[in-house]
A = this chain, B = another copy of it.
Amino acid sequence: MGLTKTEIFTPEQNELSTLMKAIAHPARIAILQQIISANACICGDLVEELGLAQATISQHLKELKNAGIIQGTIEGVKVCYCIEPKTWELLKSLLDSFLGSYKNPASCC
């Protein structure tokens, strides 16, 4: 096996898990934090900021882009990455309703 059974779950469950999976890596969290704190966007500074090889950073950026979380614009030789607002909002609302669906229980097991 080794293959997630996507068919048996709802689109929402699959979508949320895909988005979370894209973020659920310390390097990608660090990349996103950098992109956010650099306000507008950055490029290959990430390779220096984090201690990872250029190929590795590029691969992580690709995954974030595939998930629709970031967006890259070519600026001459460099590529400028920034957050994709729509996906970010989507993730926020999906997570909000998921995490918010749990109300501290009166009693449990």
Q: Is A105's CB under 8 angstroms from B39's CB? A: yes
In the complex, which residues of chain B have a beta carbon less than 8 angstroms from the beta carbon of A14?
26
A39 to B106, CA, bound (A): 9
In the complex, which residues of chain B have a beta carbon less than 8 angstroms from the beta carbon of A61?
none
Option from B6, B26, B98, B107 in Cβ contact (under 8 Å) with A4: B26
Q: Mask for A34-52, Cβ within 8 A of B = 1, else 0?
A: 0011011100000000111
Minimal Cβ-Cβ distance residue in B for A83: B102
CB-defined A-B contacts under 8 Å, sample of 30: A4-B25, A4-B26, A4-B27, A6-B26, A9-B26, A9-B30, A13-B26, A13-B30, A13-B33, A17-B25, A17-B29, A20-B24, A21-B21, A21-B24, A32-B98, A33-B98, A33-B101, A39-B105, A40-B107, A40-B109, A41-B108, A41-B109, A73-B109, A80-B109, A82-B109, A83-B102, A83-B108, A85-B104, A88-B99, A95-B99
